[in-house]
Amino acid sequence: MSRELCSIIENNGTVNCYLTDQFGIPLPTNEGIECAEVNPNRRRDVNVTLPSGEVSTLQEVRLFKRGFIVIEAFDNEFECVSEPIPFNFTERVLLCAPRGTDVTCSITEFNCLPNIVCRDGELVSIEIDLTICQEIKSVYNTVIDVATRACQPREALSEFCPSPTTFKTNDRITNKGKQQDFEQTCISTEKVYDWIIQDTNQQIRADDVSFTCGPCQIALFVPAVIMCERELSGTVLCNGERIANQEVFISVDPDIASVDPNPALTDENGHFFTTLDVPVGTEPTIATVTATTTIEEHEFSTSLDTILVCESECQLFLFGPDSINCVDVVEARVRCNEKVIPGANVLFESDRPDLVSFDPNPATTGELGVALTTVNIEPDTPPTQVTITATTTVDGEDLEETIELTVGCESRNCTITIEAPSLITCEGEITGTVTCHGDPVEGAIVEFNNFPIVGEFDPNPAITNASGNYSTTITIPKPTPIMSSVINGYYYS
C-alpha cells in the first residue's frame, strides 16, 4: 500500500479528500458533518466588555462535530483510496443563549487538505487540515399573534376573461362584492436570540489509516460491526477513472449472511451498493467480506473483516455520568435494526429508591429515539454506589439495560419556597423564604427564571432579609396572550 501511495505522491499525482458516511459513501456538506451542543444544561455565563465599554453577559456553549472523510490519490499508474477516516472534536463559542433556548448548528461549507509525507518510498505521516464554516443560532419556540383570513378557492373561470377586481388594503377586503374579515391567528414559530457565522480549523492525523491501491482496484467500505442488516458500498476505479456498469460480486466467509443484490452494479460515479442481511439469532461472529470484479480478463478483489451479529431485533442503551451530585440527567436510546424508535415509554428504577428519584418517569423517546430523565438525589446523601435500570417494551419485546454510578448530595439541609399568583396580568409579585435547618438565612442570593421565557424579574437576583424572606416583581410585556409559564427560583449561598 505505502509503495503505491508514495509513488503517486512522488510523481506529483492528484490527492484530494471528501466527506462520507461511516461506510465511505460520499455525502453533501450539509449532511456529512454532525454538529450539536454538548450538555445544554451546563452553559456557563461569561461577561464580555463591548467596544462601548458596556459589559454584556453571554453564554459559553460547547459544540461537538464529527464525521468521516476519505482520501483519494491517483496518477497514470495507480489509484489509492483510504478507508473512512473519522474525526471528532469540540469547540467553545459565545452567544446569547439564555436558559430555555435551543442551540442549532448547520454546516454551510467544508474543505479538507491532505498532506501525505513520504521518505525513501515509505509513508511517514498523513495530516489533514479541515476548514468548516458553520451557522450557529440560539432559538426558542414561541407563539405570535397575526391578523389573517382564510384562503377561499376562486370560482371557476368562465369562457371569457373576467374584468379586473379591485382590492382595498384596509381591515376588510372587497372581492366581487364579498367582504372577508381578518381573524386573529396564533402561529407557532421560531424566535432567534442570537445568530453567528464562524469558521473553525482543525488538523487530524491519520498515519495508521489503510489504503486500497492498484492500477484497477475496489474500494470496499464495511462497518466494524453489522447488526442484522446494513448497506455495504464501494467504488471501482482504474487509473483515476471511476468505472460505470461494472459487476461486483460480494462473498461472506463464513457464509452465514445473505447479500442482495449480488452482483451489485456500479453507477455512473463508479459507486456500488448492496445490502447484507444477518439472520436473527446470530451470535457475534467474525467474518470476512470480499468484493471481486473482473476488468479486461483481470480479476481484482479486496477484503475487510467485520463482526456479524443479530441477537435481538431491538436494543435499549442507557447512558449517564460516572457520578451525580444532587441532580443530573441520564439518557436512554431505543433502536430496532439500527433504526431509532420514537414514542417508546422508558421506565427508570434504582436499587436505592430511598435516595434516587426520576422525573419524568416513564420518559418517552422523541424523534431520534432518545428519552431523557432528571435524576434527583435526596439531600444529605453521602457518596453511594447505586444501580439504575431502564426498561421498555417494543413490539411485544421486553428490553432492559443497567448502569452503575456513584451518587451523593451532601448539603446543609436548606430549602427555598416560592409563591406566585395563579394569574399574573402585566405585573405580579413573587415571594418566598430561604431556610437552613429550619432557621431563616439572611443575605441569600435568589435567582429567577421561567419557562417558557416571558417577562422580566426585578430585582434578579433578590437578596433575603433577616427573616429569610425575599421578593421580586415580574413584568409581562404587552401584548402577551394568556399562557402557562413555570417560575423557578435558585438559591446560592
Pick the residue with more confidence: 152 or 364? 364
pLDDT of residue 173: 39
Strand partners, 430: 472
d(CA 98, CA 57) in angstroms, rounded, equals 10
Exposure string for 222-236, b = 16+ CB within 10 A, e = fewer: bbeebbbbbebbbbb
Cell 479541515 maps to which residue? Answer: 130
Collect contacts of 116-120 with beta carbons under 8 A, ≥24 apart: 116/5, 116/6, 116/9, 116/15, 116/71, 116/73, 118/2, 118/5, 118/6, 118/9, 118/10
Q: Is residue 293 scored above 60 in pLDDT?
A: yes
List the one residue out of 110, 112, 39, 35 whose CA is nearest residue 66.
35
Strand partners, 251: 290
List the one residue out of 256, 375, 288 whose CA is nearest residue 327.
375
The backbone torsions φ and ψ at residue 214, rounded to the nearest 5 degrees and listed phi first, read 165, 170
Query: What is the DSSP secondary-structure string of 101-150?
Result: -EEEEEEEEEEEEEEEEEETTEEEEEEEEEEEEEEEEEEEEEEEEEEE-P
pLDDT of residue 176: 44
pLDDT of residue 177: 46
What torsion, rounded to 10 degrees, do the Cα atoms 428, 429, 434, 439 define?
-140
d(CA 391, CA 318) in angstroms, rounded, equals 10
d(CA 441, CA 463) in angstroms, rounded, equals 10
Prior bond of 114 cis (ω within 30°): no
Cell 447479500 maps to which residue? Answer: 259
Of all residues in the chain, what percent carry a pLDDT higher than 90?
Answer: 32
Q: Calculate mean pLDDT across residues 126-141.
A: 90
Give per-residue pLDDT as tens, 47-91: 888 788 888 889 999 998 999 999 988 877 777 888 889 999 889
pLDDT of residue 160: 47
pLDDT of residue 281: 73
Q: Is residue 248 scored above 80 in pLDDT?
A: yes
Q: Which residues 6+ apart lie within 8 Å of 221 measured at CB?
A: 20, 23, 24, 25, 83, 84, 232, 233, 234
Pairing of strands 102-119, 183-205: unpaired
Of all residues in the chain, what percent carry a pLDDT higher than 70?
Answer: 87
Give per-residue pLDDT as tens, 424-480: 888 999 999 988 878 888 888 888 887 677 888 999 889 999 999 999 999 988 888
Pairing of strands 345-350, 414-416: unpaired
pLDDT of residue 151: 63
Which of 156-165, 196-205, 375-384, 398-407 is least confident?
A: 156-165
Prior bond of 164 cis (ω within 30°): no
Cβ atoms of residues 270 and 293 within 8 Å:
no
Give per-residue pLDDT as tens, 155-197: 554 444 444 443 333 444 344 444 555 666 666 677 788 888 8
List the one residue out of 52, 35, 57 whose CA is nearest residue 103.
35
pLDDT of residue 110: 92
Query: What is the DSSP secondary-structure string of 380-406?
Result: TEEEEEEEEEEEEEETTEEEEEEEEEE
pLDDT of residue 454: 81
The separation between CA 6 and the C-alpha centre of its own chain, rounded to angstroms, equals 38
pLDDT bracket for residue 26 (50, 70, 90): confident
pLDDT of residue 275: 94
pLDDT bracket for residue 249 (50, 70, 90): very high
Q: Which residues 6+ apart lie within 8 Å of 346 measured at CB?
A: 316, 332, 334, 362, 363, 364, 365, 371, 373, 390, 391, 392
Cβ neighbours of 345 (radius 10 Å)? 16
pLDDT of residue 398: 87
Pick the residue with more confidence: 313 or 304? 304
Which of 8-12, 35-39, 295-299, 376-380 is least confident?
A: 295-299
Q: Which residues 6+ apart lie within 8 Å of 291 measured at CB?
A: 218, 220, 234, 248, 249, 250, 301, 302, 303
d(CA 242, CA 72) in angstroms, rounded, equals 12
Q: Is residue 347 scored above 70 in pLDDT?
A: yes
